[in-house]
Amino acid sequence: MRRDTLAFTIAGVVFGFVLGYMAAGWEAMPRPAAVGAPATPAGQAAAPAAAPSARPTADPDELRALESLAARQPNDASVRIELGNMQMDAQNWDDAIRWYGEALRLAPDNPDVRTDLGACYVHSGRPAQGLDEFDAVLKKNPDHRNALFNRGVALLNLGRQTDAADAWEELLKRHPDDPQLSRLRGRILDIRAAAGAAGAAKGR
């Protein structure tokens, strides 16, 4: 995996956390529901906070060359990972899912590739499948930073806001000194406050 990305949208504001690579599209993370408002329906991503200025594209010549190499080397996981990376960078989620899936059939214990696969599922509107991938990573690698973060993203997209906050609190517990996570504390408070207000409103 050549990306290490944390980015999300809460209350209509995009917060990007970049460690070497900033992936477009994390704007799909839904915000906490307002008091009395329903959460984002399970499996349905929220509308993006702002449209990206331009969609990235993959170099077609490089793609063809790598696809040809993959055909010649059916047991090479690395070329399939590279193809998955290129398609993910270009936001071609289904193509990325296909190549990451092929890579994992050859190298099933690669947690970074499995995390990228899960992220593509979330981006493509299938957060439950993404959650399965993150859980599989965390079962063997409970400290995996990106899987912990993205698990919260998937849960939020499923409308499970308090579970998302729990997931991010676990991330902060395991990585307390990571400066890239500092703003995440505020987002957790936003989620807790929205959930508390909604609960109070129901009790009236």
pLDDT by residue (tens digit) across 71-118? 999 999 999 999 999 999 999 999 999 999 999 999 999 999 999 999
Q: Which CATH class is domain 5-202?
A: mainly alpha
Q: What is the pLDDT of residue 31?
A: 37
Residue 20 φ/ψ region, left for φ over 0, alpha for ψ in the -120 to 50 degree band, beta for the rest: left
Q: Where are the domains of the chain?
A: 5-202
Q: What is the pLDDT of residue 124?
A: 96
Number of H helices, E strands in the chain: 8, 2
Do 131 and 152 contact (CB within 8 A), yes or no?
no
Residue with more model confidence, 193 or 57: 193
Mean pLDDT of 129-141: 98
Q: What is the pLDDT of residue 54?
A: 65
Q: What is the pLDDT of residue 132?
A: 98
Mean pLDDT of 2-23: 34
Do 32 and 174 contact (CB within 8 A), yes or no?
no
Q: Is the pLDDT of residue 152 over 70?
A: yes
For 31-55, the pLDDT digits (tens) are: 333 323 333 444 444 433 344 456 6
Q: What is the pLDDT of residue 77?
A: 97
Q: Quick one: pLDDT band at residue 176, thresholds 50, 70, 90?
A: very high
DSSP track, 64-127: HHHHHHHHH-TT-HHHHHHHHHHHHHTT-HHHHHHHHHHHHHH-TT-HHHHHHHHHHHHHTT-H
